[in-house]
Amino acid sequence: MEPLKQKRGFGKWVLVGITLLLLAANVASADIEVTTPTFLYPETTSLSLEVKENLEALSHFAAGDSLPLMFRFYDTLYEHKPGVLCVLTHKSTRFEGFSNDKGEVLFWVPRARNYSKVNCAAYSDEPIEPIVQVSGSLQASGGAEILELVLIWLGIKKLDVLTSEGLLVLKAGMIEVHYPGGHEEEARQLMTELKKGERVIDSLTHMRLKPLSIIMRDSFYVGVSVGGMCTSFEPDSARVYGTFPHEWVEGGIEECYGAYQDSTNRWIGDGIANYIAFEICKRFYPRSLLDRGGSFYKNPERVHDLRTWTTATIAKPLGGWNVSFKGYDLAPYFWAKVVDKSGDSLIIARFLAEFLETEDKSQQNAIAILSRLSGLDIDSELVISQKEFTENVDRYWPLFIIPSEIAHIHGKDSFLLGNALDTASSPAIKIKVDDFCIERYEVANQEFCDFLNAAGNQEEGGAYWFDDANNPEIDLVDGRYQVKPGYENYPVRYVTWYGASAYAKWADKRLPTEVEWEFASRNGSDLCYNPYPWGNEWNKKYCNWSDKGKRDGYKATAPVDAFSKGINHYDCFNMAGNVAEWVADWYAPYDPADTLNPKGPETGTLKVYRGGSYADGKEWMTTYSRRGANSSEASPYIGFRCAMDIPKAEPDK
């Protein structure tokens, strides 16, 4: 067995998770001698290597002077095994204890510089299966959070520790949910959903698995958990259908099949695990697949070789720059096309069955086995261009890709809209916001010209959609609209609200609601953290505002992709400055009774515009500032960007 590897990726963006998982294997000899009657404990299992690796991981990530080490023992049918004697020695310190009714033994081991002197063994009256599990949960979106994650990864900042000690347990087959008293209903609901995933795993892989343990608590936990992976009483569906099955499958492939004896077999471990996670999500939570793959549009000719993707370590967390995080999308795509091209829905099951029996766990042998079983040139199939991926992946996961110019915004059950200290933005109200998509850039002149040439410049609301008489960047030549050279990528302006809405409808999109605009601009966070799209401090160089070009270099508008330092956490450009932006709502004070995806009043006299323009002072660059204008007004200071609903998909019943 290799040393403990931190193999789990930091993840999309915007979200990030690390899980450290070690499933201990039986070995035949003991590392220490314990005076105990052999007729009572004829079975001896050494755990020294597993203990050392887990203590090293805990020492790197966990806070505290003592580190929790939890063993969970099972019999050969994976039922909890009480009465197992576990003995651990570290230098002059000795721990011993018997497993309880849940098969658990918990030791708190003093922190040390190294654990080379640790010895551990378990003694039982029958063969046992021990599991030692350490998991971590992290979330990161903005720059400060990502910096914090890096500090944690480097071991500079330590995490709190949670254990499953003292919790009740609900067990069904290989799955167990640990929960505090009074929450059995939530535990049973989680178990029901996890069993759905287990059935998919079995139907596609027929693989061996070790027990899956989940710890439930009152809120999402950021830290290290010992004795299981952690979730809240209202778990995130992406974790239930994605993260947990992934870690369960990958742990089984590592421990039962020995795939990571060759560190270049990550396309097997992480690849099959994420293929299974995607298949489960496709059946039960398809919208989670919308997070995936948008970055592949940026460099379609780039080629990635999955044979170079290695298991991650603290020193090399990405597993190689050629593949890096894209492996979490490319590797499951590889397995999907192998299933497709081979015409064998059980090709993964047949591959795992043969790989289990072979002593040669090298990548070369794995490729040879899969090539023979599938009839494909697996060496070639493992080399994937971004163009191939984007053109074919929707055959397997139809909701898989959102284009890179569109941001997928995850909603929130509780978001504080507005600013109670600002008259125009009050009252501040708590609202619920569902997931949505919003464009990363303001609509540019060339895009709007294409629309005008297709639909014409029509009159609506007492004015034409576009004021072509005053716009200095777009000309009407022989009945067709043309952008003056050099201004193609500048934001369109002199557009009425009706014109903006008509363009959005023509493009199969819509204008964002005011709530969506503020939520995206503020990164879904509290106002104190994001009064500006980029963070909590004003920076005069981060946006195009009223300095008449003295500092930002632009006397009027700038290209829609200018001011990259001022982007928000979703990589949306110019949500402060450049041009203000029309939104869908009529202008009115916020309604405290309208809290579920508010869309404003049904009628009004003014339409809201947000974000400030190149002519405005810094007080209008905030994420909460709002104004209203006549919907027929075509202003040199107002443009727009579009939004989209999350495409609907019905999960499998």
Measured at the alpha carbon of residue 24, what is the angle toward residues 120 and 171, in degrees to the nearest 5? 115
For 605, other C-beta atoms within 10 Å of its C-beta total 10
Question: CB–CB of 85/124 below 8 Å?
Answer: yes
End-to-end Cα separation, the chain, in angstroms: 40
pLDDT tens digits for range 266-301? 999 999 999 999 999 889 887 777 656 555 656 778
Distance CA 276, CA 281 (A): 9
Residue 36 has pLDDT above 50, yes or no: no
Instruction: Give 202's DSSP letter.
Output: H
Distance CA(636)–CA(474), nearest Å, equals 13
Q: Which residues pair with 178 in a beta bridge?
A: 169, 215
Residue 33's pLDDT is what?
Answer: 31
**Nearest CA to 204 among 79, 360, 332, 293?**
332
pTM recorded for the entire structure: 0.69
pLDDT beyond 90 at 246? yes
Fold for domain 412-644? paralog of FGE (formylglycine-generating enzyme) (3.90.1580)
pLDDT at 137: 58
* Dist CA 272 CA 570 (whole Å): 29
Residue 15 has pLDDT above 50, yes or no: no
**Predicted confidence band of residue 4 (pLDDT cuts 50, 70, 90):** very low
Identify the weakest region by mean pLDDT among 16-30, 235-249, 297-311, 349-363.
16-30
| CB within 8 Å of 88: residues ≥ 6 apart | 51, 69, 94, 95, 96, 107, 109, 118, 119, 120
- Of 42-46, 111-115, 307-311, minimum mean pLDDT range: 42-46
Residue 160 — pLDDT band, cuts 50, 70, 90?
A: confident
Q: In the predicted model, what is the mean pLDDT of the chain?
A: 86
Q: Is the pLDDT of residue 502 over 60?
A: yes
Tell me how far apart the alpha carbons of residues 340 and 395 are, in angstroms, rounded to a whole number.
10
The per-residue pLDDT for 397 is: 86
Q: Which of 16-30, 267-281, 400-414, 467-481 has the lowest mean pLDDT?
A: 16-30
pLDDT tens-digit readout, 254-263 = 988 999 999 9
Please answer whether residues 533 and 572 qualify as being in contact, where contact means their C-beta atoms are separated by less than 8 angstroms: yes
Contact 358, 350 (CB under 8 A): no
Categorise residue 400: left if φ over 0, alpha if ψ from -120 to 50, beta otherwise. Answer: alpha
Q: Is 585 helix (H, G, I), strand (E, B) or coil?
A: strand
Question: pLDDT exceeding 90 applies to what percent of the chain?
Answer: 59
For 557-575, how does the pLDDT look when each residue is reduced to its tens digit (9 = 90+)?
999 999 999 999 899 999 9
With a cut of 50, say whether residue 28 has pLDDT above it: no
By mean pLDDT, which of 302-311, 547-556, 630-639, 640-649 is the weakest? 547-556
pLDDT at 408: 86
Percentages of the chain per state (helix, strand, coil), in multiples of 5: 30, 20, 50
Decide: helix, strand or coil at residue 584: strand
From 404, 380, 344, select the one nearest 336 (Cα to Cα): 344
Q: Is 204 helix (H, G, I), strand (E, B) or coil?
A: helix
Rounded to whole angstroms, the Cα distance separating 282 from 649 reads 9
- In terms of average pLDDT, the best of 5-14, 236-245, 566-575 is 566-575
pLDDT at 25 over 70: no
| 232 CB-contact burial (10 Å; exposed 0-12 / middle 13-18 / buried 19+) | middle
